[in-house]
Copies of this chain bind each other. A is one copy, B any other.
């Protein structure tokens, strides 16, 4: 029997009712009296100089309440890091992609706004544009940002050990180039932002976000407002997946228009804007060279990656590093060299996505499969021999305190029946494996820690205050579940206030997979602090020793003498009468190396904990059509401790859908010059429920020494390793080592045809 009452159970989500009744409001649902419709005029050119913007006709159209261009704004440039501040919220001199923000306006209704947009005249001088990283690096390529020669936005070099010696020692060295196109987040929710600026100087703003505090600071900077006047409010959010982490031009523009018009302004993105004017995943090319000894243990690996960054930096430095970091966590590599490049092109901005670098991780795993085949080692055994174990340190210096990777691999293999399947499947069937690891929080400086407050009502109910955001993954439920466990009152007795920059303390939100680890832990500590205060009051009332007290079922009682107790609401009333109301507070920041750099020589503890996952997939490939039918998927992840097993499983399942089914089979952006050719759901194919195979989930609990109850990140290791498992299974089914992803029917058929031609 578990030592816990509430955590560790699959408690119902606290947002279920509001979501199913439609009561939950998303940013696009908001409506305020006198609210205006905001619209953004975007560049039709991939690269051009702005010669003149004439807004006079738009301004004089009745119903238009504000028109703004770049020179009206304070002009602050945005970037995640000081050295990546390259994006203005409204462009003044140049546009750098088809969709770049040029002007914006607010009008009384949508029709007027659209009509006014058409009345703005912009004179451009078109410039040579470049759409391919390789072409962009050429000497004669046009420069997208003049201060970045070769259009190199970011270069992350990492070298540990002696790579040349490692290859020299190797019995087998393989070397390949892998490629993947851009992927899109395709959240259920369109991007929408509503801003309300009042005469007293308060900006209230509602928008999808991974953490409201990550929006408020850059907004305050860009608008030149003090932080306590920028109030990012809680709102239901329809998915983030890494795509709601930064401030975006629409946030700034809605706020700025509201300041100008002195009325609330709402901007809702069209489907096309959602696909082109928010950031999306990178296209990536990865050169990978791996050397192993006779036992298949990796001795050296060299990797060079090129990310097509699009027009601006966004979260580039992180996006360049993360695929490598995940792999250095998952697999032991004594000698390693990595050079990650992010290249500017005249395409929409790319950023982090839940499945970082498909081409990279799939490449690493495919090489292990190939090496295994050459050396006669089963793919599962290949992974086990190279798998990270607890107590080790990654090449860049992160100690791994907990690691259940081998258990994940073994349990998944058993569940899917690997031994009976691998090599013994009918024709056109394949089985594959993918392994990955994810950080549970990485350096965010002052914004990496979380703080929570618990206050009691006189009837014994409590209010919990936390800055954590819930993007759909169930964070709100997780926080309440933890507080319920610690306070000894039912979840229903706890009201959560979260994700509001005014009310809640600074918090990274669900950024960098840290919400449970930091946010959950802060809540645990705050609730314990409140409980200790209750216990102090109870000690006198019950004449008991504080160490013997327990809180459960709305009572504090003496362990072993459950009759000797007192209802919590009585203790609360006592505290109020004494003028010392119960108010618990807790704070937690992951113990990581905040001086660790992203770009130059990254060394030090990256994350206090890492999750590890293994996904295995069984597929059938139709050799005629190239159609892949996944038959079964097993997803096993070490999440430390499952605070809510059902929610953890849902994360695993959604990871398979996003990383495997979508990420490896169908999802890719198609371009014509700088124009995205498949911006909508009909052409960009996101998997639907009927597409999904049966999924078995396995929760491995390594109980991390630093996490709340041992918990760490849940689900993202699956999203990443699912792509690898699908790839591995398809290669196994077809006998073709595919190197360009996703594996659409066309690519599969083409690969089979090439092999057929070769054989002939």
**Chain A residues with a Cβ under 8 A of chain B:** 17-18, 21, 23, 31, 33, 198-201, 217, 220, 226-229, 445-447, 449, 451, 453, 455, 457-459, 461-463, 465, 492-495, 497, 502-503, 505-506, 573, 576-581, 583, 585, 587-589, 594
Cα distance, A451 to B461, chains bound together (Å): 17
**Is the CB–CB distance between B228 and A451 below 8 Å?**
no
A16 shortest CB reach to chain B, Å: 9
- Judging by beta carbons under 8 Å apart, are B457 and A227 in contact? yes
Q: Please, which residue of chain B has its CB at the minimum distance from the CB of A221?
A: B459
Residues of B within 8 A of A451 (CB): 581, 583
- Picked from B462, B494, B502, B578, the residue with its CB within 8 Å of the CB of A495 is B502
- Within the complex, what minimum Cβ distance (angstroms) separates A713 from chain B? 19
A495 CA to B200 CA, complexed, in Å: 11
Shortest distance from the beta carbon of A595 to any chain B beta carbon, whole Å: 10
Contacts of A220 in B (CB 8 A): 459
User: Is A200 a contact partner of B18 (Cβ separation < 8 A)?
Assistant: yes
Query: Taking CB as reference atom, which chain B residue is nearest A198?
Result: B23
A228, B17: Cβ atoms under 8 Å? no
Whole-angstrom distance between the Cβ of A529 and the nearest chain B Cβ:
11
A-B contact pairs, 23 of them (CB 8 A): A17-B199, A17-B200, A18-B198, A18-B199, A18-B200, A31-B33, A217-B458, A226-B492, A227-B461, A445-B577, A446-B458, A447-B576, A449-B576, A453-B583, A463-B503, A497-B503, A505-B581, A506-B581, A576-B589, A579-B589, A580-B587, A581-B587, A583-B587
Shortest CB distance A151–B (Å): 34
Task: A589 to B575: give the CA distance in the assembly, Å.
Answer: 11
Bound together, the chains give a CA A226 to CA B21 distance in angstroms of 21
Is B577 touching A446 in the complex (CB atoms < 8 A)? yes
State A494–B217 Cα separation when bound (angstroms): 16
* Residues of the B chain whose Cβ atoms lie less than 8 Å from the Cβ of A502: 463, 495, 497
Q: Is the CB of A505 within 8 A of B583?
A: yes
Q: Are A493 and B449 in contact (CB under 8 A)?
A: no
SS class, residues of chain A in contact with chain B: mixed
Residues of chain B with a CB closer than 8 A to A578's CB = 589
Q: Which residues of B contact A492 (CB under 8 A)?
A: 226
Give the docked Cα–Cα distance between A357 and B633 (Å): 80
B-side contacts of A447, CB under 8 Å: 458, 576
Assembly CA distance A201 to B21 (angstroms): 12
Q: Is the CB–CB distance between A459 and B495 below 8 Å?
A: no
User: CB-nearest residue of chain B relative to A573?
Assistant: B446
Q: List the number of copies, as a whole number.
A: 2
State the CA gap A588–B503 with chains docked (Å): 22
B505, A455: Cβ atoms under 8 Å? yes
**Known contacts A455-B505, A495-B502; 18 further A-B pairs (Cβ under 8 A):** A17-B199, A17-B200, A18-B199, A23-B200, A31-B33, A220-B459, A226-B459, A226-B492, A227-B457, A228-B461, A457-B506, A458-B506, A465-B503, A497-B502, A505-B583, A506-B581, A577-B589, A578-B589
A505 to B580, CA, bound (A): 11
Is the beta-carbon distance between B493 and A228 smaller than 8 angstroms?
yes
Minimal Cβ-Cβ distance residue in B for A494: B228
Cβ–Cβ < 8 Å partners of A573 in chain B? 446
Using Cβ atoms and an 8 Å threshold, which residues of chain B touch A581? 449, 451, 505-506, 587
Q: Which 4 A-B pairs have the closest CB atoms?
A: A579-B589, A446-B576, A228-B495, A227-B457
Instruction: Please give, as numbers and ranges, the residues of chain B lying within 8 Å of A200 by CB-CB distance.
Output: 17-18, 21, 23
- In the complex, residue of chain B having the shortest beta-carbon distance to the beta carbon of A465: B503
Across-interface contacts of A33 in B (CB, < 8 A): 31
CA distance A476 to B465 in the complex (A): 22
A75 to B229, alpha carbons, bound, how many Å? 44
Docked Cα-Cα span, A378 to B459, in Å, equals 56
Interface centre among A17, A494, A505, A585 (most CB of B within 10 A): A505
Least distance between A82 CB and chain B CB atoms (Å): 15
A214: min CB distance to chain B, Å: 12
Is B21 a contact of A199 with CB atoms below 8 Å?
A: yes
> From A585, which residue of chain B is reached at the shortest CB distance?
B583
Q: Closest B-chain residue to A518, C-beta based? A: B579
Q: Kindly provide the distance from the CB of A412 to the nearest chain B CB, expressed in whole angstroms.
A: 36
Cα A220 to Cα B458 in complex, Å, equals 11
Question: What residues of chain B lie closer than 8 Å to A23, measured between beta carbons?
Answer: 198-200
A604 CB, min distance to chain B CBs, angstroms? 15
The minimal Cβ–Cβ distance linking A706 to chain B, given in whole angstroms, is 12
User: Given the interface contacts A33-B31, A505-B455, A579-B587, does A228 sit within 8 Å of B18 by beta carbon?
Assistant: no
Question: Are B579 and A588 touching (Cβ within 8 A)?
Answer: yes
**Whole-angstrom CA separation of A445 from B587 in the bound complex:** 32
Residue of B nearest to A229 (CB): B495
Chain B residues in 8 Å Cβ range of A445: 577
Which residue of chain B lies nearest to A31 when distances are taken between CB atoms in the complex? B33
| Complex-state Cα separation, A502 to B497, whole angstroms | 8
Report the bound CA distance from A21 to B262 in whole Å.
12
A576 to B447, CA, bound (A): 7
CA gap between A402 and B209 in the complex, in Å:
54
Task: Say how far A337's CB is from chain B's closest CB, in angstroms.
Answer: 32
Taken together as a complex, chains A and B put the C-alpha atoms of A581 and B497 apart, in Å, by 18
Which residue of chain B is the closest to A458 with respect to CB atoms?
B446
B18 lies within 8 A of A462 (CB) = no
Contacts known (A505-B583, A579-B588, A583-B505); A458 close to B227, Cβ less than 8 A: yes
* Chain B residues with CB under 8 A of A449: 576, 579, 581
Q: Which residues of B contact A21 (CB under 8 A)?
A: 199-200
Contact call B576/A594, Cβ cutoff below 8 A: no
Once A451-B583, A594-B577 are accepted as A-B contacts, the answer to whether A461 and B226 lie under 8 Å apart by CB is yes
Residues of B within 8 Å of A17, CB to CB, are: 199-201
Chain B residues with CB under 8 A of A229: 495
Closest Cβ of chain B to A758, distance in Å, is 58
How far, in angstroms, from A457 to B200 measured CA to CA in the complex? 19
A495 CA / B220 CA spacing, docked (Å): 15
- Report chain B residues within 8 Å CB of A446: 458, 573, 576-577
Residues in B neighbouring A227, C-beta threshold 8 A: 457-459, 461
Q: How far is the CA of A576 from the CA of B457 in the complex (A)?
A: 29
Q: How far is the CB of A185 from chain B (nearest CB, A)?
A: 28
Instruction: Give the CA-CA distance A585 to B585 in the complex, in Å.
Output: 10
